[in-house]
Amino acid sequence: MRTVSAGVIAIFAAAFLFGCSGSSSGGSPSPSPSPSPTPTPTPTAPSNLTGTTPSSTSVTLTWTGGSQFTGYRIYRNDVQIGTTTSTTFTDTGLSAVTAYRYFVRGETASGLSSPSGTITLTTPNMLALSLSKLLDPASRSNMLVRDIEFDSAGNIFVTGGALSASFPTTAGAYDRTFGSGGSSAGSFGPSDAFVMKFNRSGQLLWSTLIGGPNHDRAYGLEIAPDGGIVIAGRAGEGFPTTAGVIQPTFAGDTNPNAAYGKQDGFIAKISADGSTLLWSTYFGENNYGFLRDVAVDSNNKVYVAGPFFAGLAHITPSALQSAPNGQHDLVYARLNATATTVEYGTYLGGNEPANEVAAAPSIIVTPNRDVYLTIVEGGNGAPTTSTAYQKNNAGGKDFLIARFNASDQLVYATYLGGSSGEDLETHNIAVDGSGRLAIAGTSSSSNYPTKTDAYQPAFGGGSADGVVSILSADGSTLVASTFLGGTGREEVQGIEFAPDGLLYVSGGSTSSSLKTTSNAFQKSAAGGADAILAAFLPSLKGAPYLSYFGGSNDEQSNALAIASDGAVAFCGETASSNFPVTGGGSTAPSSGETGWWTLLQP
């Protein structure tokens, strides 16, 4: 018989007791686990966050809170910048022309609420009106002002067409006698091109005419590296030219415009002091044609653009397009520095309808000698490139945009427009340092291509809105695009990038509903058509500056320029007796419209 030890008996007893402890018949039941605590709900977020129109250095935020909140935390660009127990907060020490993103969270005894909705506000730039002047305050002579430029010293040059013998000139000028008496001046009558130079204080340094007995007008002006002033535009018979140039004589005009009479294009260069005509040439053929814009490169070579019919002698054998595809097309040409040779000349365009009026192109040459062009085109068939943003006409007249490189090769060509119609005047393109082209014009197309996050993504109404768009450097992508308009009509003429990256545009508006900014010189329309000036962010998502400039009658701005220090000058005409000029006084023109220019400085 085997003997069981006391230790083994103890083990069996322990096992028995362990098994019985969980049964219904023995021992007390195990306690149930404690329930988890009910989570405290996150407090409701503040709502209706808004910001006042910012100054250049501050913005005030307001929001809707609640009794559950003991305070609020304010966040700028995702970083907490302050606290408050009220539902308003002023953020100070901001930088001008900068976008800031804000949200707010509420504080309670149990923690922070979720964020409010987020808003983004952009501080305006710090430009202020320096002066606003009539070009001819003494006699208020009738004139059309078409371009304005700064030289490297900050002086201001203005050009256009003088329609009156009382136009002011200065002693020593190249030509002080108004031309008249021609037989083909058109219904507008005789006109001379003019150039005026002012200093930053608005003092007239010199003024000269250049013209013949018929209708002559400059549309574009550039300051050449050698200091000469190059102008281009339209000219009638008898315009002064010099020997040895590409076209010293008038080519004829079998299809004259009733307003201007017989016309060719012209290009002329005047000495830096306004005393000498260095060279001058016609540029045309025996049908209606003229030049609308001009550019100059670092070697003093001259680039021009205008609409012309077939038979223009200045098209070169290497042309991209040797003849018009329609009844007339854009012509781009490059001349040497003395206008004795056309180095490159080409047509560029589609097959527009037979009754389409010749359009107004713009041209720019960059420091590395890339050439950008635009014109309005009403037909298909233009030589667009394979990666073009828009290969065909979308309806009516569209913008046609092209870029050539320094070897005269087409980099891209693209249409840009909606189903109704787009239009241009002059000085309607700008190029930034990365090669992106910005274009400003007028559109009656409600479906003009814009971006959903643009400053104004939808058509504003009326007969036409201004439009501003930016294309990628290769012309394949619409980077940014916006309308600029209200219930009337907007026409945009003049566009340029500023040193701080802002994109400025000028023009005219008959709308009274434009969203002017807190720093605007003139927040409300004064009557008729007013000039306008706007500054857009490079993204075209905001406008830190928008102002009217005008009196009770009609104004229009036709061009703008930006100096190296950020000063902005723009120019145009007024028919108002109360156009805002610095120093006060009547501004009534003697007849028609007189010219003005305005300067804003940081």
Query: In the prediction, which pLDDT does 4 show?
Result: 39
Question: Which of 297, 317, 348 is the last residue before a domain boundary?
Answer: 348
Please compute the mean of the pLDDT values over residues 487-494 and round it to a whole number.
96
83 and 226 co-located in one domain: no
89 and 152 co-located in one domain: no
Taking 80 as the threshold, does the pLDDT of residue 446 lie above it?
Answer: yes
Cβ(467)–Cβ(494) under 8 Å?
no
Average pLDDT over the chain reads 91
Question: Which of 330, 348, 366 is the last residue before a domain boundary?
Answer: 348
Lowest mean pLDDT among 19-23, 109-113, 187-191, 422-426: 19-23
162 and 293 co-located in one domain: yes
74 and 182 co-located in one domain: no
**Residue 163 falls inside a structural domain:** yes
Distance CA 361, CA 364 (A): 11
Query: In the prediction, which pLDDT does 57 show?
Result: 85
Distance CA 287, CA 308 (A): 8
pTM of the model: 0.85
Query: In the prediction, which pLDDT does 336 show?
Result: 98
- pLDDT bucket at 41, cuts 50 / 70 / 90: low
Greatest Cα pair distance, the chain, in angstroms, is 153
Of 534, 444, 434, give the one whose Cα is nearest residue 477: 434
**Residue 363 falls inside a structural domain:** no
Give the CATH number of the domain where residue 51 resides. 2.60.40.10
Please compute the mean of the pLDDT values over residues 232-259 and round it to a whole number.
96
Please compute the mean of the pLDDT values over residues 498-510 and round it to a whole number.
95
- Sign, CA dihedral 154-600-439-455, equals positive
Question: Which of 306, 324, 348 is the last residue before a domain boundary?
Answer: 348
**What single-letter DSSP state applies at residue 30?**
P
pLDDT tens digit sequence for 62-118? 999 999 999 999 999 999 999 999 999 999 999 887 889 999 999 998 999 999 999
Taking 50 as the threshold, does the pLDDT of residue 251 lie above it?
Answer: yes
pLDDT tens digit sequence for 284-309? 999 989 999 999 999 999 999 999 99
115 and 149 co-located in one domain: no
Phi and psi, residue 12, nearest 5°:
-60, -40
250 and 101 co-located in one domain: no
Distance CA 137, CA 586 (A): 9
Cβ(304)–Cβ(232) under 8 Å?
yes
152 and 291 co-located in one domain: yes
Please compute the mean of the pLDDT values over residues 450-456 and round it to a whole number.
96
- Sign, CA dihedral 497-498-501-502, equals negative
Of 91, 90, 87, give the one whose Cα is nearest residue 63: 87
172 and 55 co-located in one domain: no
Amino acid at 86: S
Which residues constitute the domain of residue 240? 145-348
Measure the CA dihedral 247/250/253/259, to 10°: 110
Our count of domains for the chain comes to: 2
Q: How many CB atoms lie within 10 A of CB 407?
A: 7
Lowest mean pLDDT among 33-37, 495-499, 585-589: 33-37
Query: In the prediction, which pLDDT does 535 show?
Result: 95
**Residue 249 falls inside a structural domain:** yes
The distance in angstroms from the start CA to the end CA of the chain is: 116
Query: In the prediction, which pLDDT does 34 show?
Result: 54
Judged by phi (left if over 0) then psi (alpha if -120 to 50, else beta), residue 448 lies in beta
Instruction: List the beta strands (DSSP E) in 314-431.
Output: 329-335, 342-348, 362-365, 371-377, 398-404, 410-416, 422-423, 429-431
The residue assigned the tokens 């002012």 is 198
155 and 112 co-located in one domain: no
Length of the chain: 602
**Residue 361 falls inside a structural domain:** no
Tokens of 452: 């959903």
Please compute the mean of the pLDDT values over residues 524-540 and round it to a whole number.
95
Of 194, 193, 198, give the one whose Cα is nearest residue 151: 198
Cβ(347)–Cβ(322) under 8 Å?
yes
pLDDT tens digit sequence for 367-377? 999 999 999 99
Measure the CA dihedral 486/487/488/490, to 10°: 20
**Residue 240 falls inside a structural domain:** yes
Distance CA 473, CA 456 (A): 23
> In what side-by-side order are the strands of the sheet with 362-365?
362-365, 371-377, 398-404, 410-416
**Residue 203 falls inside a structural domain:** yes
**Chain centroid, CA 396 distance in Å:** 23
**Residue 19 falls inside a structural domain:** no
Of 97, 100, 67, 98, give the one whose Cα is nearest residue 85: 67
Query: In the prediction, which pLDDT does 99 show?
Result: 86
Tokens of 277: 């005509």
Taking 70 as the threshold, does the pLDDT of residue 554 lie above it?
Answer: yes
229 and 164 co-located in one domain: yes
Taking 70 as the threshold, does the pLDDT of residue 506 lie above it?
Answer: yes
Phi and psi, residue 412, nearest 5°:
-160, 160
Distance CA 158, CA 165 (A): 18
Please tell me the number of Cα atoms within 13 Å of 281 on its side-chain side. 21
**Rg of the chain in Å (alpha carbons):** 34
67 and 207 co-located in one domain: no
Percentage of the chain surpassing pLDDT 70? 93
Please, what's the b/e burial string for 232-246 (b: 16 or more CB within 10 A of its CB; e: otherwise)? Answer: bbbbbbbbbbbeebb
Please compute the mean of the pLDDT values over residues 319-338 and round it to a whole number.
96
Please, what's the b/e burial string for 280-292 (b: 16 or more CB within 10 A of its CB; e: otherwise)? Answer: bbbbbbbbbbbbb
163 and 217 co-located in one domain: yes
Lowest mean pLDDT among 152-156, 267-271, 477-481, 515-519: 515-519
pLDDT tens digit sequence for 119-138? 998 887 778 899 999 999 98
pLDDT: is 196 or 125 the higher one? 196
Please compute the mean of the pLDDT values over residues 209-236 and round it to a whole number.
98
- pLDDT bucket at 37, cuts 50 / 70 / 90: low
Distance CA 351, CA 329 (A): 9
Distance CA 217, CA 165 (A): 15
Q: What is the DSSP string of 503-568?
A: EEEEEEE--S-----TT-S--S--SSSEEEEEEE-TTSS--SEEEEE--SS-EEEEEEEE-TTS-E
**Residue 483 falls inside a structural domain:** no
